[in-house]
Each structure stands twice: as C-alpha cells, then as structure tokens.
C-alpha cells in the first residue's frame, strides 16, 4: 500500500499526513509541479494554505500539474483523500460536490471536535462503526460546507455524507453539520477536520483519525485480493 | 567620498534621530560630512534599535554561558544542545511600535521577523509563543484596546497558521500603562542538526552576495529609527501618520523563503546567511561584514525592486519583509539561483565580499556611498544610564472594580473573570497549536507547552512577565518573572536549558526608567545564574511611553527546558477523584502588587517581599523530579490570584471539583493585606514565588515531604470547588464547576 502526499508551495500539514500514512503503509511526497504520481495507490491532498490561498482557498492549487494527474487518477477510480485545504482543493477541482465558505464566526478557529460516523463501509470509513464518535482536531477559517439542497438530498440518498459534527461541535456553520463527504463513486473523500493530527495519543489528543487511513489500506488491499 | 550636489545638514541628522554629538562623530569617522545615503545608514545603525546604545553595557553583565549553550547572544538567535545531535534555537523579539500603529501587520511581521531569525541560523521553526500587553479592555467594543487586541491576535494567527508553525503558548496582560503603547513580543523555537548551525559572518573576499526572497519596495522605510527608537506621540490618532513605516507581511512568501533557505543549507551551497529585518540591507550587510571583518560592495541597481525610481538610500534602508541575504562562493551562484527558482522566490547577485573593511554602495558601478564597516556597526557611542530611584510613584493607582470588603466568594469570582486571569481560550483558539505533530501539551493543559522530539524526550517552553510586579520592584519583580518561567517548566517535568528575554521599557534617558532598567537587568542576571539558565539571546525595546507616561517595565522572559520522557509530561488539571490536593513549596503569599489589590484599586507598593531564590529553586527541583517519576497527577504553579485561583484552574482544567481547607495556610508574618496582619484573604489570594498546587496519592505526597514544604489541604472530587477555613469558623464557600467555567470565560465576549 503506497500513499502519495501532494506538496504545494504553502502546504503546512503535508509532513503530518506523510507520517500518518506511514503508520499503515508506505508514503512519499509528490511535488506540485510533477505529473507523475509514481504508482501511488492513494493520494492525499494535505492541509495548509496552498499558494497562500490569497484568491480563494484551493482555487489556484487545482490547476497544479500534479492535480491534473490526480483528477485523471480519481476518474479512473483511484482513492483520493482531501484534508482541510485539500478538501477545498477537491471541491474547486469539482472532484467533490459543494464548496467551503468562510466560518460563520469569520475567524480561524482551532478546536478538538467530536465527529459522528454516518456511514460505515466503503473506502474511507470501513474501520469505523456506524454512529461511532471520533475525536479529531479541526483548524481552519474557511470550513463551512455548503451545497444546494437538491445536491444534498442526492448525496444523502447515495450515502455520500460520511461524517458529521456531533451536536454542539459545528463551529464553522456547515450545512446539516456535515464534516466530510465523498463523491458518488465513493473513491474521493474530503473533510475539514484533520485525521492526520489524531493518529497518536501523545500529540493528537486521540488516535481516532488513524481509522480513516486504516480504512484506505483495507480498501486498497481488499481490491487487490 | 563621492561628490553630492547638496549634503544633508545637522538638522537633517537630528530629524533622522541622531544627536548633535553623534552627527559630529559621524563626520569625524567619514572625514567630512556624510551624504544623504551615508547619513541614512548611520542613523539606522546608530539607532537604539540596532546599536543598543543605552543597554549594551548592562547586557554585558548577564550570564551567557553554560553547559548546554551552543550559540550565545550576537547571532540571529541563540541555541542550546537538546541531545541526539540536535540543537534548539530560540529568541524573543518585540514589534511594539508597529503594532501600536497597525496591529494586524505589526504583529504579523513580528512573527515573520522572529521566524527568519530562527531559520537564518539553519533551524526549522517548530513553535511560536507570544507575549502581549494592552490597556484595560473595559468600555465595550470599538475601543482602542479591543481594536489592538483583535488586530494583533489576528495578525499572529494569520502569519503563524499560514506558514505551518504552531503557536503553542503565550501570555497576555491588560493594564492601564499599556493603553497608549501596547506590547507585541513574539518568541520562536527551531530545531537543527548541530553541525548545520549557520553563522552570519561574511567571509572570503571575492565571494558573492545573493539577496533572495521578496523584491524591495518603499515599505517600512526608517522603521528602526522612526518607530522603534522614539516615543509614540499622543497625536490623537494612534500614530496614523506613521502607518507607511509599518511593513506588510506575506506568510506565503516566507514559507517559500524558509524552505528555500533550509534546502540551501542542507545542500551546503552557502557560506553564511542573514535575515533582513530592521534597517533592511543596511544592517544585514553591514553586520555580516563586521562579524567577518571584511568589506562589502553592493550595487543597488542589481536589487530587484517593486517600483521604479527608488533612490539608493531607499533601497538600502527599505524594510520590505521576507528577504534573506547570503554569501556564496562564485562557483555556487548558479546553483543557488536555480534553487531560488524551484521555490519560486526571487534571487539576485547584488554585491561582493571585499577585503577593504569598507561598506561601499554603488549604482550601476558608480560609487554613491562609502563607510568604514567598524564605524558603522561597532563605533556608535554607548551611553551610561543615569539611574535615579523615583521619589514619587510613577504609576497611577488603578481604578478599583471590587469593594474592599468583598467576601471570598465574590473576590474569587471577580478574579476568575478579570481580564488578566480569565481563560485565554478565545485567543489561542485562533492559532494552530498542533501542526508539525509535536505538541504534547496544548494551551491550558499544562503550565508550559511541551513539544515532543524524535528520541522520545521533549522540549518545554514558557514565556512570562508580570509587569505590575516589576513596576513595584524592578529587581525582585524580574527575579520572580524568571522563577515563574522555571516553575512552569518544573510543572511539566522540565529542567531549564537557556533563557531569552525582551526588555520592554520606557525612555532610558529618564532617571526613573534607567533605574527600572538597571535594577531589572541585575535581577535577571542573578536569577538566571542561580537557575543555571543562561541568556542566549534577546532583544531590547526602549522608549515605550506615550503622553500618559511609561509602560510598566516589562522584561519578558522566555525559557526553554527539556524533559527526558515526553509521555511523562505533567498536566495542570486535577486528574482523579479521591486523590489528595497539596500546597507545595516555600510559599509566602502577600496581597501587595497582586491581582486582588488591583481589583480593589490599591496603589503599587514600594518594593516586593524578600525572596529566597535557592529555596524556590529547590522546590522546582522537587516538583520536576516528582512529575518525571509520574508520582504526581497534576502540578500547577500559583501565580496571579493566588492559591484560590490556582485551585479553580486545576478544577476547570481537569473537569473535576475539590474540597480544601485553607485554614492552616500560614500567610507569614509580613502580611500587608488591607485588613492588616491576619487578613485571611492573603492566604487565599496572596501572590509570591515558590507555591504549587499538586494532586496525587497520599503516598506520593508523603514522599515529596522531606524535600520541600508540603501541606495537604484537601481532596479531589465532586463537581464543585469547596473552600473551608477551619478552625476559624468562617463560612464554607462552594462554587460549582459550571459557575467557575462561566465566569472564567470572561474574555469570550471580546471576540464575539
């Protein structure tokens, strides 16, 4: 199992994602200017402020040469995980429905949040139990998930709403408390909280985030078997 | 010297901040009157900010050497050995006046500047802490204090969050004397392999100077002399006319600059490296030349500019952010520029190292200024302070907000809600404290931030200074600030390795400020010597006064320590119901200069109580050892608001109550509370060094006993804090955790 972690100028959490992925498999960084994904089984688009995020979070990064390859990779069914800024990039790239808007408090906010697992199975949450709570840090200024009501209904019907903020935890104002969504095919997943910062009790406050990476490993190895 | 149509006059020199005597000395060094470029460069390098001309003699008295010190003062940052072949670089620096003028950019570029200091010596920044001072926040939204606080916090977050360096701790105080002169000090830590540490001395005549990073514009021209080395006038608009001298920060540019610099070092492509901060190219180039005992030629026509038509002096003094200067062997220049291209930062060869020991500025090959490096960097006159202890109080009595006869319950709730004690959550929630996956203890989990290292050990860091106590007694107040940092480290199990400091004071040309400064530095030296926590670097910020007077003297102390096992790092919150609560240490609380006295509108006392540094240090060692051994479930240093506030904080952090009997707490013979000797409020709310609230098993506390005074005062449990005072028969006080939490959240409304 081999992860590729994209690195843009302005990425901040790429090394954290790299180390988290290495807990379940091999992982290496992929420079934004490269088109070769070097045979990765799964791609992580990490958190940070790609290209400074001065225009709109993720708006520039989606045009990076590496992202063009990631878009092709996703269309072929490859697993793609977008965390925080990576989620924003995947929405900008139209690999995921919806958009991330400024938090309702209009401030960067950093908090350990409780998430509820809405779907147990598939490529990203198979290692979680339905209704299980995950304690994972979130830290962002643009994390309010929004999609049109019709889109949301369709997503709900096809099981694309994977994680939501537990009651009282939705500080950014996301619609329906949505914290993480996948595409219809189920191979592209984005979330605002940072599972890569919750893989080690010592520094993460919990190790619940590991379940996301573990699920991805199960999906890749299951597909091979 | 090159010809100039009109040479600047003495009046021009005075306007640039030089004195008449200094101007005459410049003329002597130059062999005639300087031209505009030369005068501008002298005025910056001979400013207080660059030359430390009122503080250098005092700073020489500080201890700077110790077994862990790898790099002492004089480089961009100091560094201590942390084992495993690694060093920790750290430093604190101020950006006070820019923040008073434009808080967002002032604070943001303060963070940017201190981060560059860290990676300039080859260390990857791993943490930021900040130390902030504002006026009283009362008076509703839209007041100046709220504008400054909101802007500064947003600026720090903007820069630190975007560049991927966690903000792991800090402190903030609100006091009247900072109303017109807020303080924004930022501290950064970095890690480097010991052999990669880089110095800034230019070397090797014939080598090439490469400027890389952002292009150079007209922003921040004259910041060092105009902003940093003069009092802020009371022009009613908070320094509106000075706004163009504040620089604008771009954390994305700095992120690229950081990665580019570290890769240049990793690939051994450069000979030396220096960041561009105050006084821009002028100070960076001149200081590199001075340290290497060489000369430097710079051609300003080769400097990439943001706008056309900039004069040579503007290019040389611009404080445009996110720039670095390095010395490169000619054969490596192409590789250096190629790496700049990879990281999408600008890079240009702008000059050469010479053996002339002169700083020469050219434009398209034509000489436009020339100065001896020694004169420019090292021969600014140093001044002796004329300290005079003030006969009258310097500071106004605070406005009382709590009745003198308020009872224990009312006083405790008022203290927990007061801006200096209330939860800092609304501030630190705006910072990313966890990026880089090293943060073992986040804010409000422990007295010091704890950062894991790869070998399983950890660094601990704390920043502190209670300016009100320093104002009451600059010597003992400064010792207390150092002890406070060391106590914070002890509570997580860490031993001090080194110290940095930022001396924020008023105008040193005034006798009473000179007295504060010299007394404070005397205390600083004594405390750091006693704790074996030498000073490895720091900064001085003088002239912090407005029309209403000077700030409280504020020697901000930053201390870095190490603990062998990150997993054993201490916590401050009570952990387990049924465990005992003890007051530990040679604690002799007094209300004088404390938070309760402030709320009651009491004036500052003239002097603080005597203290025994060795006894306090022994308590630190005992606590540290017990935390490392895992014997204590919680440890918290008693600070503002005394024992009662510390107990409440332990309950809140652990989400569990406690019942304590403080009737037996001895307040010492010297109690100076309002009620005179025997005023039992001193035992509950009195302050002083050397006290800790710890939680643990009866056995663990018994074992601690022989090493340090231990008084078991109660038990952890329940969902309220209950304070009884047997045998006095005073009424029992019970406050639920919910009520404690609600009042403790007093700062939240300032961010709503």
Taking only the tens place, the pLDDT of each residue in A66-118 is 999 999 999 999 999 999 999 999 999 999 999 999 999 999 999 999 999 99
How far away is chain A from the Cα of B429, in angstroms, using its nearest Cα? 5
Alpha helices in A46-167 (DSSP H): 65-75, 85-92, 149-157
Tell me the two tokens of residue A27: 């992982």
Residues of chain B found within 8 Å of residue A107, distances taken between Cβ atoms: 154, 430, 751
For residue A21, the SS3 value is helix
Catalytic residue among A14, A92, A169, A196: A196
CA proximity to B354, closest of B482, B490, B495, B207: B207
Question: Does A137 sit within 8 Å of B440, measured CB to CB?
Answer: no
Tell me the two tokens of residue B88: 């920790």
Question: Does B433 sit within 8 Å of A204, measured CB to CB?
Answer: no
Residues of chain A found within 8 Å of residue B433, distances taken between Cβ atoms: 110
A33: nearest CA in chain B?
B342
Residue A84 among the catalytic residues: yes
How far away is chain A from the Cα of B163, in angstroms, using its nearest Cα? 7
CB B88 within 8 A of CB B536: no
DSSP conformational letter for B687: B
Nearest CB to B164; choose among A48, A51, A197: A48
What is the per-residue pLDDT for B205?
A: 93
Question: Does A10 sit within 8 Å of B162, measured CB to CB?
Answer: yes
Catalytic residue among B49, B97, B620, B636: B49
Quote the CA–CA distance of A213 and B491 in Å, as a whole number: 35
Residues of chain A found within 8 Å of residue B438, distances taken between Cβ atoms: 203
Helix (H) or strand (E) holding A39, with range, is none
Quote the CA–CA distance of B18 and B24 in Å, as a whole number: 10
Nearest CB to A52; choose among B252, B429, B431: B252
Question: Does B344 sit within 8 Å of A9, measured CB to CB?
Answer: yes
Tell me the two tokens of residue B91: 């430093």
How far away is chain B from the Cα of A198, in angstroms, using its nearest Cα? 9
Q: Who's near B592: CB < 8 A, 6+ residues apart?
A: B472, B602, B605, B608, B609, B672
Residues of chain A found within 8 Å of residue B158, distances taken between Cβ atoms: 108
B450: nearest CA in chain A?
A203
Quote the CA–CA distance of B523 and B518 in Å, as a whole number: 9
Strand B439-441 to strand B69-71: parallel, antiparallel, or no bridges (unpaired)?
A: unpaired
Quote the CA–CA distance of B548 and B529 in Å, as a whole number: 36
Question: Does A54 sit within 8 Å of B154, measured CB to CB?
Answer: no
Nearest CB to A197; choose among B162, B429, B437: B437
What is the per-residue pLDDT for B307?
A: 87
What is the per-residue pLDDT for B732?
A: 86
CA proximity to A13, closest of A88, A93, A68: A88
How far away is chain A from the Cα of B304, in angstroms, using its nearest Cα? 21
A13: nearest CA in chain B?
B435
What is the per-residue pLDDT for B238?
A: 46
Residue A101 region, left (φ>0) first, then alpha (ψ -120 to 50), else beta? Answer: beta
Residue B252 forms contact with A (CB below 8 Å): yes
Question: Does A137 sit within 8 Å of B435, measured CB to CB?
Answer: no
Tell me the two tokens of residue B202: 């230019």
What is the per-residue pLDDT for A101?
A: 96
CB A116 within 8 A of CB A208: no
Question: Does A15 sit within 8 Å of B252, measured CB to CB?
Answer: no
Quote the CA–CA distance of B348 and A32 in Å, as a whole number: 25
Nearest CB to A16; choose among B430, B435, B440: B435
Cis upstream peptide for A181 (omega within 30°): no
Question: Does B251 sit within 8 Å of A49, measured CB to CB?
Answer: yes
Helix (H) or strand (E) holding B535, with range, is strand B535-541
**∠B744-B136-B97 over CA atoms, to 5°?**
120
Helix (H) or strand (E) holding B276, with range, is none
Neighbouring C-alpha atoms within 13 Å toward the C-beta of A155: 23
For residue B259, the SS3 value is helix
Q: Mean of the pLDDT values across residues A165-192? A: 98
Tell me the two tokens of residue A74: 């996703």
What is the per-residue pLDDT for B674?
A: 41
CB B318 within 8 A of CB B280: yes
Nearest CB to A108; choose among B157, B255, B259: B157
What is the per-residue pLDDT for B661?
A: 92
CA proximity to A134, closest of A110, A116, A112: A116
How far away is chain A from the Cα of B431, in angstroms, using its nearest Cα? 6
Residues of chain A found within 8 Å of residue B436, distances taken between Cβ atoms: 15-16
Residue B697 forms contact with A (CB below 8 Å): no
How far away is chain A from the Cα of B41, in angstroms, using its nearest Cα? 34
Quote the CA–CA distance of B632 and A88 in Å, as a whole number: 44
Sheet holding B86-94, edge to edge: B69-71, B78-83, B86-94, B183-193, B124-134, B167-174
How far away is chain B from the Cα of A199, in angstroms, using its nearest Cα? 10
Which residues, given as ranges, of chain B have pLDDT below 70?
1-5, 139-142, 220, 222-246, 664-680, 729, 752
How far away is chain A from the Cα of B435, in angstroms, using its nearest Cα? 6
Neighbouring C-alpha atoms within 13 Å toward the C-beta of B68: 24
Question: Does B566 sit within 8 Å of A202, measured CB to CB?
Answer: yes
CB atoms within 10 A of CB B734: 15
Residue A153 among the catalytic residues: no
Nearest CB to A12; choose among B157, B435, B566: B435
Residue B154 forms contact with A (CB below 8 Å): yes
Greater confidence (B109 vs A62) lies with B109
For residue B599, the SS3 value is helix
Q: Who's near B167: CB < 8 A, 6+ residues apart?
A: B127, B128, B129, B130, B156, B157, B160, B161, B428, B431, B432, B433
Q: Which of A9, A172, A207 to mutate to test the interface with B (most CBs of B within 10 A)?
A: A9
Q: Who's near B407: CB < 8 A, 6+ residues apart?
A: none
- The reported pTM is 0.94
Place of tokens 């047997």: B726
Residue B433 forms contact with A (CB below 8 Å): yes
Quote the CA–CA distance of A73 and A36 in Å, as a whole number: 11
Q: Which of A203, A205, A207, A210 to mutate to test the interface with B (most CBs of B within 10 A)?
A: A203
Quote the CA–CA distance of B208 and B330 in Å, as a whole number: 6
Alpha carbon of residue B441 to chain centroid: 20
Alpha helices in chain A (DSSP H): 14-22, 65-75, 85-92, 149-157, 201-204, 210-224
Residue B423 forms contact with A (CB below 8 Å): no
How far away is chain A from the Cα of B581, in angstroms, using its nearest Cα? 26
Tell me the two tokens of residue B198: 């880089």
B565: nearest CA in chain A?
A202
Start-to-end Cα distance in chain B: 60
CB atoms within 10 A of CB A19: 16
Helix (H) or strand (E) holding A45, with range, is strand A42-45
A105: nearest CA in chain B?
B752
A137 forms beta bridges with A112
CB B274 within 8 A of CB B76: yes
What is the per-residue pLDDT for B244?
A: 57
Q: Is B282 exposed, middle or buried (0-12, 13-18, 19+ CB in 10 A)?
A: buried
Question: Does A9 sit within 8 Å of B255, measured CB to CB?
Answer: yes
CB A124 within 8 A of CB A187: no
Residue B49 among the catalytic residues: yes
Residues of chain B found within 8 Å of residue A198, distances taken between Cβ atoms: none
Quote the CA–CA distance of B219 and B320 in Å, as a whole number: 6
Catalytic residue among A14, A32, A84, A140: A84
What is the per-residue pLDDT for B40?
A: 92
For chain A, the residue count is 225
Nearest CB to B429; choose among A19, A110, A203: A110
Residues of chain A found within 8 Å of residue B154, distances taken between Cβ atoms: 107
CB A178 within 8 A of CB A93: no
Residues of chain B found within 8 Å of residue A8, distances taken between Cβ atoms: none
Quote the CA–CA distance of A172 and B226 in Å, as a whole number: 42
CB B315 within 8 A of CB B300: yes
Per CB distance under 8 Å, which residues of A are interface residues toward B?
Answer: 9-13, 15-16, 19, 47-49, 51-54, 107-111, 137, 139, 194, 196-197, 200, 202-205
Alpha carbon of residue B641 to chain centroid: 23
Quote the CA–CA distance of A65 and A7 in Å, as a whole number: 12
Tell me the two tokens of residue B323: 């720039």
């Amino acid at each position: 199992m081999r992860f590729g972690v994209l690195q843009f100028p302005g990425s901040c959490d790429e090394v954290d994602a790299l180390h988290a992925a290495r807990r379940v498999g091999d992982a290496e960084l992929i420079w934004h200017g490269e088109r070769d994904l070097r045979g990765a089984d799964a791609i992580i688009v990490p958190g940070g402020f790609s290209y400074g995020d001065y225009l709109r979070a993720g708006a520039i990064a989606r045009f990076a040469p590496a992202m063009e390859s990631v878009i092709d990779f996703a269309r072929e069914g490859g697993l793609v995980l977008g965390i925080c800024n990576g989620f924003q990039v995947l929405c900008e790239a139209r690999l995921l429905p919806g958009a991330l808007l400024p938090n309702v408090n209009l401030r960067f906010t950093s908090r350990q949040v409780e998430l509820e697992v809405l779907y147990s199975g598939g490529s990203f949450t198979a290692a979680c139990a339905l209704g299980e709570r995950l304690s994972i840090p979130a830290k962002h200024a643009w994390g309010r998930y929004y999609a049109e009501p019709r889109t949301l209904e369709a997503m709900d019907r096809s099981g694309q709403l994977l994680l939501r903020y537990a009651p009282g935890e939705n500080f950014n104002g996301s619609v329906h408390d949505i914290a993480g969504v996948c595409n219809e095919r189920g191979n592209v997943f984005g979330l605002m909280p940072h599972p890569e910062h919750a893989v080690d009790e010592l520094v993460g406050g919990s190790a619940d985030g590991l379940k996301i990476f573990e699920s991805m490993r199960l999906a890749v190895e299951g597909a091979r078997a | 010297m090159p010809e100039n149509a009109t040479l600047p006059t003495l009046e021009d020199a005075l306007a640039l901040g030089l004195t008449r005597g200094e101007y005459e000395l410049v003329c002597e060094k130059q062999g005639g009157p300087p031209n505009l470029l030369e005068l501008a460069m002298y005025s910056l390098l001979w400013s207080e900010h660059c030359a430390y001309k009122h503080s250098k003699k005092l700073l020489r008295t500080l201890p700077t050497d110790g077994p862990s010190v790898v790099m002492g003062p004089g480089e961009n940052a100091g560094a201590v050995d942390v084992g495993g072949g690694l060093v920790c670089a750290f430093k604190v620096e101020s950006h006070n006046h820019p923040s008073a003028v434009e808080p967002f950019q002032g604070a943001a570029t303060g963070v940017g500047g201190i981060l560059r200091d860290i990676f300039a010596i080859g260390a990857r920044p791993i943490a930021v802490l900040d130390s902030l001072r504002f006026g009283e926040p009362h008076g509703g939204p839209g007041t100046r204090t709220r504008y400054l606080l909101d802007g500064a916090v947003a600026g720090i977050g903007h820069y630190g969050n975007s560049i991927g360096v966690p903000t792991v701790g800090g402190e903030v105080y609100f006091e009247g004397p900072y109303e017109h002169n807020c303080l924004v000090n930022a501290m950064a830590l970095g890690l480097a392999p010991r052999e990669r540490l880089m110095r800034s001395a230019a070397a090797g005549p014939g080598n090439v100077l490469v400027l890389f990073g952002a292009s150079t514009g007209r922003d921040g021209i004259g910041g060092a002399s105009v902003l940093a080395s003069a009092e802020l006038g009371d022009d009613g608009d908070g320094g509106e006319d000075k706004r163009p001298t504040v620089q604008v920060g771009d954390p994305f540019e700095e992120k690229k600059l950081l990665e580019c610099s570290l890769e240049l070092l990793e690939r051994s492509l450069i000979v030396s490296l220096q960041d561009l901060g105050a006084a821009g190219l002028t100070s960076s180039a001149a200081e590199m030349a001075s340290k290497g005992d060489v000369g430097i030629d710079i051609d300003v026509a080769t400097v990439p500019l943001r706008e056309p038509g900039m004069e040579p002096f503007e290019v040389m003094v611009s404080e445009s952010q996110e720039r670095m200067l390095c010395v490169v062997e000619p054969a490596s220049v192409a590789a250096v520029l190629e790496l700049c291209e990879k990281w999408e930062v600008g890079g240009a060869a702008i000059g050469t190292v010479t053996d002339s020991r002169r700083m020469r500025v050219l434009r398209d090959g034509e000489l436009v200024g020339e100065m001896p490096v020694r004169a420019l960097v090292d021969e600014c006159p140093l001044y002796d302070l004329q300290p005079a202890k003030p006969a009258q109080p310097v500071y106004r009595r605070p406005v009382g907000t709590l009745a003198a006869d308020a009872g224990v319950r009312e006083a405790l709730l008022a203290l927990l809600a007061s801006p200096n004690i209330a939860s800092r959550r609304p501030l630190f929630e705006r910072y990313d404290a966890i990026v880089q996956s090293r943060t073992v203890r986040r804010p409000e989990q422990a007295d010091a931030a704890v950062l894991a290292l790869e070998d399983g050990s950890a660094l601990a860091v704390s920043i502190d200074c209670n300016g009100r106590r320093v104002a009451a007694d600059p010597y003992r107040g400064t010792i207390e600030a150092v002890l406070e940092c060391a106590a914070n480290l002890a509570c997580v199990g860490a031993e001090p390795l080194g110290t940095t400091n930022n001396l924020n004071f008023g105008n040193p040309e005034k006798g009473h400020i000179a007295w504060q400064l010299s007394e404070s530095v005397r205390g600083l030296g004594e405390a750091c010597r006693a704790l074996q926590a030498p000073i490895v670097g720091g900064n001085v910020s003088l002239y912090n006064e407005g029309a209403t007077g000077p700030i409280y003297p504020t020697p901000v102390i930053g201390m870095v320590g190490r603990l062998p096992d990150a997993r054993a790092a201490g916590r401050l919150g009570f952990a387990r119901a049924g465990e005992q609560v003890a007051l530990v240490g040679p604690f002799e609380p007094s209300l004088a200069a404390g938070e309760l006295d402030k709320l009651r509108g009491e004036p500052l006392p003239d002097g603080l109580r005597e203290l025994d540094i060795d006894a306090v240090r022994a308590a630190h060692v005992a606590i540290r050892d017990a935390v490392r051994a895992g014997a204590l479930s919680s440890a918290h240093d008693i600070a503002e608001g005394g024992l009662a506030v510390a107990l409440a904080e332990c309950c809140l952090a652990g989400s569990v109550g406690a019942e304590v009997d403080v009737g037996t707490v001895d307040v010492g013979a010297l109690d100076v509370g309002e009620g005179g000797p025997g005023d039992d409020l001193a035992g509950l709310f009195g302050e002083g060094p050397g006290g800790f609230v710890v939680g643990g098993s009866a056995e663990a506390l018994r074992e601690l006993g022989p090493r340090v005074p231990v008084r078991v005062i109660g038990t952890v449990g329940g969902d309220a804090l209950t304070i009884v005072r047997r045998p006095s028969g005073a009424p029992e006080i019970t406050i639920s955790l919910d009520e404690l939490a609600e009042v403790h959240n007093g700062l939240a409304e300032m961010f709503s």
